[in-house]
Amino acid sequence: MTEQKPVDHNDCPTFITISILSNKWRMGIIYSLSQSKDNLLRFKDFSELIAGISQAELTKQLKELECSGIVSRKVYAEVPVRVEYSLTKIGISLLDPIKSLYEWAVEYGDKIKKNRERK
């Protein structure tokens, strides 16, 4: 029998991807950008689109998505400073899997909820 090696979560593409999508706010941020005109949103636009997110949390999540290469941040040297966020090619490539996950959740979410309530 072959011995299985432990999974290094820092090197596993599946775990890395799930960690990006499993955050409470990130799918909402990605979805908001995907629905925006020209794939661009300013910081203040997010707080209008994502109910309940604080400025500090939004800043944190945008930085993490930018660090992952999913979101791009462009700063304009204007007064006041204008900052725009958009999805990168990698971010855009996430839209189909997110849509599939959403469709799966619509189909099975109630069944899962009922199963959990029985336990």
pLDDT in tens, 61-79: 999 999 999 999 999 999 9
The class of domain 13-118 in CATH terms is mainly alpha
Please tell me the predicted confidence (pLDDT) of residue 2: 67
CA–CA separation, 62 and 91 (whole Å)? 12
Mean of all residue pLDDT scores within the chain: 90
Q: What single DSSP character describes residue 26?
A: H
Residue pointed to by tokens 């029998």: 1
User: 51-75 b/e with 16+ CB inside 10 Å = b?
Assistant: eebeeeebeebbebbeebebbbeee
Amino acid at 19: S
pLDDT tops 90 at residue 18? no
Element holding 74 (H helix, E strand): strand 71-76
pLDDT tops 70 at residue 59? yes
Please tell me the predicted confidence (pLDDT) of residue 5: 73
Alpha helices per DSSP H over the chain: 13-21, 26-35, 43-49, 55-67, 89-93, 95-118
pLDDT tops 70 at residue 48? yes
Please tell me the predicted confidence (pLDDT) of residue 13: 86
Please tell me the predicted confidence (pLDDT) of residue 1: 59
